[in-house]
Chains A and B, each alone.
Chain A
Amino acid sequence: MAKVVLTSASKNFADNDIRDAVSRSFDLLGYNYPEKIDTVIIKTNLCYYWDYSTGETTDPRIISAIIDYLRARIGDDISIFVAEADATAMKTKYSFKILGYENLSKAKNVELLNLSEGEIVEKQVSIRNNRITLPVNKMLLESDLVINVPKLRTHNLVGLTCSLKNMFGAISKPRKFSYHKNLDAIIVAINKLVKSDICIVDGLIARGKYPKKMGLILAGDDALATDFVVAKILGFNPRAIGHLKLAEKENVGDVNNTELIEDKTSLKEAKKLFPGSSFLLHRLSWGLQLKLLDVYLKLSGDVSPPFLKA
């Protein structure tokens, strides 16, 4: 049976409040840790150089709280790596600096790991009976514990981006834009290859139609079950989200027997507070605007600024 905890930090976002909420979510989750843990990888969500206050990237204070908890729970001698891979437009060496992770690394004595560097292994997996090969960092595959720390936010391409989609960002290949044509299958494939042992969802500042300080933290021992709960908070039917539907079909997780623990808040309240947005409407609206632009440019012969170039 999968377990998901939904809790809340107080709204003033003091470091202590965040630490308490993270600690409480771990305790309530009651994860059954393996006996021997030497290395832990914490996968952040640093999709671009957008500050955590935008609601787009993982708040370093959550990572700090996770590190404190793990050291207290497992031991001071564990090696903790805070990880992210390069993306099409984002270089980890800059995002770690810009988003405050270099400072965190020094303050907490943890290493920063660029998943696009070091030993990369080509791994194969079958999705819908098709073989998919993905490059994955060997350290991620061999880590004793993978903690997945996604954001609570909507996504223009896939509806929501949470635990499963965050692991898409762990694929070593920087130019992941090339996977977008087959996005659902690739998301499910990487999650079949790398299991998130624990998911801690950063909903301190959630982002839907706009960013909102919600102070939410979710913890789950099953990435798919966690995403199902998050989808409900965001106002989606989880089975209407392509990659969640496919992940369920591919047995990436168990969503039929999820125990949801609501602490200091409830799913209903969280859903009410979330600034929902229709990603379908957003895509249609942008799609229509860009189509109109293309038609206008063809008819008029006007110039298109290069940043709008498809």
Chain B
Amino acid sequence: MLRVGVIGLGKMGQLHFLNALHMKDVKLVAIADKSKRNRKMVQRYNVKAYDDYTVLLDSEELDAVIISLPNFLREESIAYAAEKGLDIFVDKPLARTLAEATRIAGKARKEGVRVMTGANYRYMDCVQRLKKMLDEGRVGDVVIATADLIMNGPLGHGRVPTPVPEWWLSKEKAGGGALLDLGYHLIDLMNWMFGDLRVEYSSLGYRFQLPVEDGAMVVLRSGKSKMNCCVNVGWFSKSIFPDFNFRVNLHGTVGYTSTDNFAPKNLRLYAIKEASRNLLRKATGKKLKYLSYTYYYHSFFKILELFFDGIQKDTELPISLEEEIDVIRIIDDVYKRNGADLNG
């Protein structure tokens, strides 16, 4: 049984916490969060709560930890957990800068621990099916790819209104805006599919006049496959439901395919279908496909499950730190080219 702690119970931390509760051979031992309300939330799950993650890590015997803290606390929290010899699952982005990411990787190597980033888009059903088509050669050699992810980012409005955490809007604390937040996923997908990416062109958008960009367009070229791809991201769209504005299009020498071909056309109907299937699974004693009714959030369950599975079986984790450093290298390059890096 893996003994696990969760550091940071913001929206993402809560999601990981709830997901981990349903995982086989995983015991959630303790959480740490500054918010009293969040600490209170876990009481009913018989999980210990700390207001300081260092105290949690000093006090509890753990095997792994989920870190879901704001970007500016990534490096110090990963370093502290690594020194305790814990394997680490951390939300993306891995770091605010390439320098930070490199130090994190060095620390993980030194302490002999494994760090995996929550690049969950790889595990969306539509992406998995697209990747399969690519790997099978069904679109031929991809010459051009485009990837879009436009949503509201931290400016989203939940069912119950809550203020946007202010660190999101600070360049120093967040390290960047829509590119680091959403572009991270798309660049990770392109890197995973094609590899050896270099920035050809980039432009950052500031429609909302924030210290961080609310939009970005990046053209990348794969040195390996000579494929060109255009990545478009933005925080400027008001809503994400019922239309989820995410897609990857691949234009190859054989034909064309898109995640749109594999994504549900109507998210409401899809939710009803998946919920019914889960109820059937429950009734027949089968394992639930957690969060599949939301389409998007199931990928978070899947990636965390794969992380724990890799640790339990002591096999290679599905997402390597080297891959994630590649992603940060590209983002770092874009920020430098646009005078938007942390020293810029």
Contacts and interface: CB of A to CB of B under 8 A. Distances in A.
Interface of A: 48-51, 54, 56, 87-91, 94, 97-100, 102-103, 177, 289-290, 296, 299-310
A177 B163 CA distance: 12
Nearest to A88: B161
B224 interface: no
Contacts of A49: 155, 164, 208
Chain A at the B interface: mostly helix, strand, loop or mixed?
Answer: loop
Contacts of B121: none
B156 interface: yes
Interface stretch (B185-193, B291-299, B322-330): B291-299
8 contacts: A49-B155, A54-B238, A91-B164, A296-B293, A303-B22, A304-B18, A305-B297, A309-B160
B161 A301 contact: no
B219 interface: no
A208 B157 CA distance: 19
Interface in B177-213: 207-210
Contacts of B301: 303
Interface in B1-58: 11, 14-15, 18-19, 22
B170 to A, nearest CB: 11
A83 B279 CA distance: 51
B344 interface: no
Contacts of A50: 238
Contacts of A306: 11, 14-15, 18
Interface residues of B, number: 35
B210 A299 contact: no
Contacts of B11: 306-307
A103 B18 CA distance: 43
Nearest to A286: B159
B134 interface: no
B164 A89 contact: yes
A299 B281 CA distance: 12
B278 interface: yes
A308 B207 CA distance: 28
B21 to A, nearest CB: 8
A307 B169 contact: no
Contact of A48 (B18, B157, B160, B282): B157
B236 interface: yes
B157 A89 contact: yes
Contacts of A97: 208-210
Contacts of A305: 15, 291, 294, 297
B268 A91 contact: no
Interface string B138-176: 000000000000000001111111111000010000000
A157 to B, nearest CB: 12
Most buried by A among B22, B207, B238: B238
Given A98-B209, A300-B282, A301-B282, A91 B15 contact: no
B290 interface: yes
A48 B297 CA distance: 25
A296 B275 contact: yes
Contacts of A308: 158-159
A100 B279 CA distance: 48
Contact of B288 (A89, A94, A301): A301
Most buried by B among A87, A94, A98, A303: A303
B201 to A, nearest CB: 26
A66 to B, nearest CB: 22
Contacts of A103: 209
A216 B273 CA distance: 43
B68 to A, nearest CB: 11
B238 A56 contact: yes
B291 A302 contact: yes
Contacts of B278: 296, 300, 302
Given A177-B160, A296-B293, A305-B297, 13 more contacts: A49-B164, A51-B236, A54-B238, A56-B238, A89-B161, A300-B278, A300-B288, A302-B290, A303-B301, A306-B14, A306-B15, A307-B11, A309-B159
